[in-house]
């Protein structure tokens, strides 16, 4: 067989016509085997050229994948499997060139989760485990963040939700905050403690509800009954309601 034509089709990719067939070859392979027009190609050499060309094409796809954003080793492994890339040389190359470093990945992930997303420890561990980062690496990354930072973030979330609350009782509000903050990865005991430290008593909400209803209901008897029904449905205690109305 003989190389009939070499044509550049992309920056680092060439199409070769070898007798009656066409193959695409990266520039690295072209240079390595000194591929020139009229060069004779034996069958065993053609097999090598095809195999290495496929390797470089796969490597190029993987490099584009990991340069979009930092990836864990587990994510890259999954990407290789999903795309049927089974050449072990790709992973070796990425590690040798320091493209993959799970500790560096975990450190960056924890930092962004804490300071940009306000996530708690449990959420961070869950997300990193999903990306197949080892528990040991996760713990090392978490140790770089003071416990007080997590509690400060939790307090900010809870205070914001308390301030936004215009209608729910303490009980219902706490239930909602527990669900939300546990989804964010915070511990139940920490949530309850910080909530109790910052909660404004129910009376203020009851008074506001009364004022709103007064605008709509002229008959005081109906007002009282409607207010009781409405506040009971929201989880307020009847004794607390009667104190205020």
Max avg pLDDT among 49-53, 164-168, 177-181, 220-224: 177-181
DSSP 42-104: -HHHHHHHHHHHHHHHHHHHHHHHHHHS---HHHHHHHHHHTT---HHHHHHHHHTT---HHH
Average pLDDT over residues 99-119: 95
Residue 25 has pLDDT above 70, yes or no: yes
Q: With pLDDT > 70 as the criterion, what percentage of the chain qualifies?
A: 84
pLDDT category at 9 given cuts 50, 70, 90 is confident
pLDDT per position as a tens digit, 116-144: 999 999 999 999 999 999 999 999 999 99
**Pairing between β-strand 21-26 and β-strand 13-18 as defined by DSSP bridges:** antiparallel
Report the pLDDT value the prediction gives residue 203, as an integer from 0 to 100: 52
Yes or no: say if 134 and 102 are a contact pair by the CB < 8 Å rule.
yes
**Distance from chain centroid for Cα 50:** 38
Look over the chain and give the mean of its residue pLDDT values, rounded to a whole number. 86
**115 pLDDT tier (thresholds 50, 70, 90):** very high
In the predicted model, is pLDDT for residue 165 greater than 90? no
- Of the pLDDT bands very low, low, confident and very high (cuts 50, 70, 90), residue 102 is very high
How do the domains of the chain map onto residue ranges?
3-96, 202-244
Q: Which residue has the tokens 């914001």?
A: 160
Least reliable range by pLDDT among 10-14, 80-84, 130-134, 208-212: 208-212
pLDDT tens per residue, range 41-85: 888 888 888 988 999 889 999 999 998 888 999 999 999 999 988
Per-residue confidence band for 170, with pLDDT thresholds at 50, 70 and 90: confident
Among 13-22, 63-72, 144-153, 204-213, the minimum mean pLDDT is found in: 204-213
In whole angstroms, give the CA distance from residue 191 to residue 197: 10
Which CATH topology does 3-96 take?
Arc Repressor Mutant, subunit A (1.10.10)
Question: Model's pTM, two decimal places?
Answer: 0.72
Distance CA 95, CA 106 (A): 16
Model confidence at 206: pLDDT above 70: no
pLDDT higher than 70, residue 205:
no
Beta bridge partners of 14: 8, 25
Q: Identify whether the C-beta of residue 194 lies closer than 8 Å to the C-beta of residue 150.
A: no
């Amino acid at each position: 067989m003989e190389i009939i034509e070499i044509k550049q089709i992309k920056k680092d990719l060439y199409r070769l016509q070898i007798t009656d067939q066409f193959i695409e070859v990266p520039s690295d392979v072209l240079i390595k085997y000194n591929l020139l027009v009229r060069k004779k190609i034996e069958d065993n050499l053609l097999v090598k050229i095809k195999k290495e060309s496929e390797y470089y094409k796969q490597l190029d796809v993987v490099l584009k994948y990991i340069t979009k954003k930092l990836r864990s080793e587990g994510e890259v492994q999954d990407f290789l499997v999903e795309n049927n890339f089974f050449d072990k040389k790709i992973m070796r190359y990425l590690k040798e060139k320091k493209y993959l470093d799970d500790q560096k990945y975990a450190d960056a992930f924890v930092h962004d989760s804490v300071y940009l997303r306000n996530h708690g420890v449990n959420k961070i561990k869950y997300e990193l485990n999903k990306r197949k980062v080892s528990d040991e690496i996760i713990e090392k990354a978490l140790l770089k963040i003071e416990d007080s930072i997590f509690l400060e973030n939790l307090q900010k979330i809870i205070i914001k939700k308390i301030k936004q609350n215009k209608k729910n009782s303490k009980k219902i509000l706490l239930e909602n905050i527990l669900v939300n903050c546990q989804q964010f990865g915070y511990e139940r005991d920490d949530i309850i403690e910080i909530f109790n430290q910052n909660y404004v008593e129910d009376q203020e909400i009851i008074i506001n509800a009364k004022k709103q209803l007064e605008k709509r209901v002229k008959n005081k008897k109906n007002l009282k009954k409607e207010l009781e029904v409405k506040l009971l449905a929201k989880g307020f205690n009847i004794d607390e309601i009667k104190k205020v109305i």
